[in-house]
């Protein structure tokens, strides 16, 4: 299990992730600089606004160090905007991506803020995620999944939780419910 989990703290709901991880009893460190990144054994990239987070990542020179750490096996969980930043390509207003998850992320694919919704996973409930409640806020959809991408959960037949080796991504906000199964999976990745 990773000793210290980093949370990319540029913008978005990183504090809700902090609270949930606190409940799981792991040490945390906000990540803003490369020196923070060097101290963590797993990372959460939170939801928020991927354009804003990406500008911060560029300003702080985090793209290359992050890409290198993830490619070297750092367990990472990207949620919503975080999933977009991990993807191979972001569509519907492109944003610079890390390209470590072999999917296309279509931004705001369900509509605007008023089209936010909650739903329960269906389909492949094979990964101990039965009944997982998902909150979608201006969520992306993941398309063109590469052969190494495993779908862990779907809602209405669309993948909402995927894994490619050490890279985990949800299109929903697992930090906004009391269910800690998504974060627990990140911890078991390390
Ligand atoms: N729509 C946002 C984006 O494209 C993501 C929304 C979210 O993270 N809740 O960056």
- What value, to the nearest 5°, has the Cα angle with vertex 53 and ends 43 and 156? 75
Ligand 1 atom nearest residue 12's Cα: 8
Assess whether the C-beta atom of 185 lies below 6 angstroms from ligand 1: no
Testing ligand 1's pocket by substitution, the residue of 16, 44, 49, 87 carrying the most ligand atoms inside 8 A of its CB is 49
Distances (CA, A) of 71 to 45, 76, 120: 15, 10, 32
Asked whether the beta carbons of 1 and 23 are under 8 A apart, the reply is no
| CATH number of the CATH domain containing 183 | 3.40.50.880
49 lines ligand 1 (CB under 6 A): yes
**Ligand 1 mean position, distance from CA 172 (Å):** 10
180 with 23: CB under 8 angstroms? yes
Instruction: Report the catalytic residues.
Output: 80, 173, 175
| pLDDT score for 115 | 81
Q: Which domain holds residue 143?
A: 4-189
Collapsing DSSP states into helix, strand and coil, what is residue 134?
strand
In tens digits, what is the pLDDT along the chain, a chain of 190 residues?
A: 778 999 999 999 899 999 999 999 998 999 999 999 999 999 999 999 999 999 999 999 999 999 999 999 999 999 999 999 999 999 999 999 999 999 999 999 998 878 889 999 985 556 889 999 999 999 999 999 999 999 999 999 899 999 999 999 999 999 999 999 999 999 998 6
- The response to whether residue 106 sits with its C-beta less than 6 Å from ligand 1 reads no
Interval between CA 112 and ligand 1 midpoint (Å): 10
Judge contact between 85 and 50, C-beta under 8 A.
Answer: yes
Ligand 1 pocket residue status of 41, Cβ below 6 Å: no
Residue 171 Cα to ligand 1 middle (Å): 9
- Is residue 81 within 6 Å of ligand 1 at its C-beta? yes
34 lines ligand 1 (CB under 6 A): no
Ligand 1 center to residue 27 CA distance, Å?
27
pTM score of the predicted model = 0.96
* Number of domains the chain is built from: 1
Find where tokens 């419910």 sit.
177
Q: Residue 73 CB: number of other CB atoms within 10 A?
A: 12
């Amino acid at each position: 299990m990773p000793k210290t989990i980093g949370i990319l703290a540029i913008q978005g709901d990183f504090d809700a992730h902090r609270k949930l991880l606190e409940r799981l009893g792991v040490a945390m460190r906000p990540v803003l600089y490369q020196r923070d990144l060097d101290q963590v054994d797993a990372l959460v990239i939170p939801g928020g606004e991927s354009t804003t987070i990406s500008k911060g990542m560029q300003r702080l020179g985090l793209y290359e160090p992050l890409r290198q750490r993830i490619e070297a096996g750092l367990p990472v969980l990207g949620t919503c905007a975080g999933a977009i930043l991990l993807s191979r390509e972001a569509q519907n207003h492109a944003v610079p991506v890390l390209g470590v998850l072999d999917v296309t992320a279509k931004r705001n694919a369900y509509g605007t803020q008023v089209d936010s919704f909650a739903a329960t996973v269906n389909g492949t409930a094979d990964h101990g995620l039965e009944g997982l409640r998902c909150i979608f806020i201006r969520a992306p959809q993941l398309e063109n999944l590469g052969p190494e991408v495993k779908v862990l959960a779907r809602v209405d037949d669309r993948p909402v939780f995927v894994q490619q080796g050490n890279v985990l991504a949800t299109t929903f906000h697992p930090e906004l419910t009391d269910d800690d199964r998504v974060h627990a999976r990140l911890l078991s990745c390390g």
